[in-house]
Structure 1
Amino acid sequence: MSATIETPRAPQPVRRQRRFNFEKWGWIYMRASGVVLVVLIFGHLFVNLFAGEGVKAIDFAFVGGKLSQPFWQIWDTLLLWLALIHGANGMRTIVNDYASNRLLRVIFKGALIASAVVLLVLGTLVIYTFDPCPAGSPANLLPSFCPAG
């Protein structure tokens, strides 16, 4: 019994072309978001740890002051969205590689998408609705930059 192997350059059967190659765009996203994330993360670390008084200055007032500025809201939103989608895409790749059962793969990917959407929505809400000076709070509990009363 002998087996023959087709030559490597033999014409392949014509396959239906998909309009959108999700794996290719996922791969491109991982590379592009990784580069942007390096800049965002090191900028975040520099401002939080090295600029000013360092790590001992990070408290509620520091975070409240940062999140009250539109620049830092956009910076943190980009950081949140890029990092979370980057991580979810990496987990999707791991699920594709190791979950051999089709039903299990669908369940894992569904849970991954659901958790990513919930975290993106909650994180974005926190960034844009955070109020370090809530109305009606006792003055002794408010940060120093809040107007008294």
Structure 2
Amino acid sequence: MATTIESPRAPHTVRRSRGVNWEKWGWIYMRASGVVLLVLIFGHLFVNLLVGDGIKAIDFAFVGGKWSDPFWQVWDTLMLWLAMIHGGNGMRTIVNDYATKAVTRKVLLGAILVAVVAMIVLGTLVVYTFDPCPVGSPADLLPSFCATR
């Protein structure tokens, strides 16, 4: 009894013989960003959960103190950017594989792009504009490391 495997669907993108092969670079990005994300995420988990008092220490003051250091701002920003682009690229691949109509594919890809860009912009703004010691706040509500103003 012979089993026949159907040929895969033709890709929706037009193949060009010259120019940049974006699918190849997307594939390479997924592998490289995955490796870097493993280091970033496990480093993040190690510092937040195992160093010091562990999970009991994570509160507003912990995050405020952590984000007052430029190293952790860059670390968390890099983790955010890589994770969002990695996830968006994965969703793009799924849409290209399963959306059969061109209009549906374009709408879904546009929605993914808008969501990824919005999350990257908002997340980056939070990391770099976070102020754990806002001016005019009652002293009893501020973290212990804030100087009374």
Identity of matched residues, %: 72
Say which one has the larger Rg: 1
1:122 corresponds to which residue?
122
1:93-127 CA-partner distances (Å, limit 9, x unpaired): 00001100110000000000001001000000000
How far did residue 148 of structure 1 move?
Answer: 1.2
1:37-56 CA-partner distances (Å, limit 9, x unpaired): 00000000000000000001
Q: 1:97 and 2:97 equivalent?
A: yes
How far did residue 16 of structure 1 move?
Answer: 4.8
Q: TM-score by structure 2 length?
A: 0.89
In structure 1, C-alpha distance between the alignment counterparts of 2:89 and 2:68, rounded to whole Å: 31
Q: TM-score by structure 1 length?
A: 0.89
In structure 2, C-alpha distance between the alignment counterparts of 1:101 and 1:107, rounded to whole Å: 10
In structure 1, C-alpha distance between the alignment counterparts of 2:53 and 2:140, rounded to whole Å: 24
Extract unaligned runs of 5+ from structure 2.
1-14
Q: Cα RMSD (Å) of the superposition?
A: 1.0
1:40 corresponds to which residue?
40
How far did residue 20 of structure 1 move?
Answer: 1.0
State the aligned residue count.
135
Extract unaligned runs of 5+ from structure 1.
1-14
In structure 1, C-alpha distance between the alignment counterparts of 2:52 and 2:124, rounded to whole Å: 26
**1:122 is aligned with what amino acid?**
L
1:18 corresponds to which residue?
18
In structure 2, C-alpha distance between the alignment counterparts of 1:107 and 1:60, rounded to whole Å: 39
**2:68 is aligned with what amino acid?**
S
